[in-house]
Amino acid sequence: MITQEKLTQLVEQTQEIAKEVGAFIRKERQHFSVEKVEHKGFNDLVSYVDKEAERQIVDRLSLILPEAGFITEEGTTTTKGEVYNWVIDPLDGTTNFIHNIPVFAVSIALMENEDLILGVVYEVNRHECFYAMKGGGAYCNDTRIKVSTAPDLSASLIATGFPYYNFELIDKYLATMKSLMQKTHGLRRLGSAAVDLCYVASGRTEGFFEYNLNSYDVAAGALIVQEAGGMVTDFEGEDDFVFGRKIVASNGKIHADFLKVLNEFWG
């Protein structure tokens, strides 16, 4: 079992890894060409930067916790651990990166069995490192962060992500957005779920929802929201948000009404 002292050390080491890989990503963006883009599927883009960033992260994490396995976006390694697994998105917001829109991040989480115990999200362009460990609160660049105190949806700004390749549920999605537009301060689509979750954690937005996400998109950010005093569930209000592909995060105060709106259309 990882002790609290060891976990604190891992948080510090993971931050350094995320920042160093973030510096590599930032440098590569300066001379990046769209000709270097590959397609994993329709509108599912990847580049050598994603792959190299993941290799660097995996290599470094393997040294600081050799017994842990990995869940990775780019498949650098598929070795799963019996108890501990790192969950990695080396470049969350690849489409933004490719188009030079400055919202993308390195996202690294550590799970102990089914529990999130560490989360680090480094937003590359603003040099903001969000991090948390289970039971230790949430921080951005060493400053404690808390969710917003907005009391209801009418005082809330909501973030989301748009479907970009799976359009089967697009009508439900558009109906949900139409409803939320009329009940809130508005909607924002930043293009990085990891950043969206950290903005909920830091009180910049009150809520975030999206479907069809993967564990590596949300694991680190979800823990950061929870440790900042917020609430994270799936669309049914249950705990299957890491692997269940549907996530709702909020400041907690708006969560019940937020879920009510979603379930009006998602059932």
Q: Which residue positions form the known binding site for Mg(2+)?
A: 73, 89, 91-92, 217
The dihedrals phi and psi of 69, each to the nearest 5 degrees, come to -95, -170
Strands annotated E in the chain: 37-41, 44-47, 69-72, 84-92, 105-112, 115-123, 128-133, 138-140, 143-144, 157-160, 186-188, 207-211, 231-233, 246-250
Kindly tell me the burial class for residue 230, based on how many C-beta atoms sit within 10 Å of its own C-beta (0-12, 13-18, 19 or more).
Answer: buried
**Mutual angle of helices 255-266 and 170-183, in 10-degree steps:** 140
Residue 30 DSSP symbol: T
Kindly give, in sequence order, each residue whose CB lies less than 8 Å from that of residue 36, ignoring residues fewer than 6 positions away. Answer: 47, 48
Annotated binding site: 73, 89, 91-92, 217
Q: What DSSP line would sit under 184-239, residue for residue? A: SSEEE--S-HHHHHHHHHTTS-SEEEEES--HHHHHHHHHHHHHTT-EEE-TTSSS
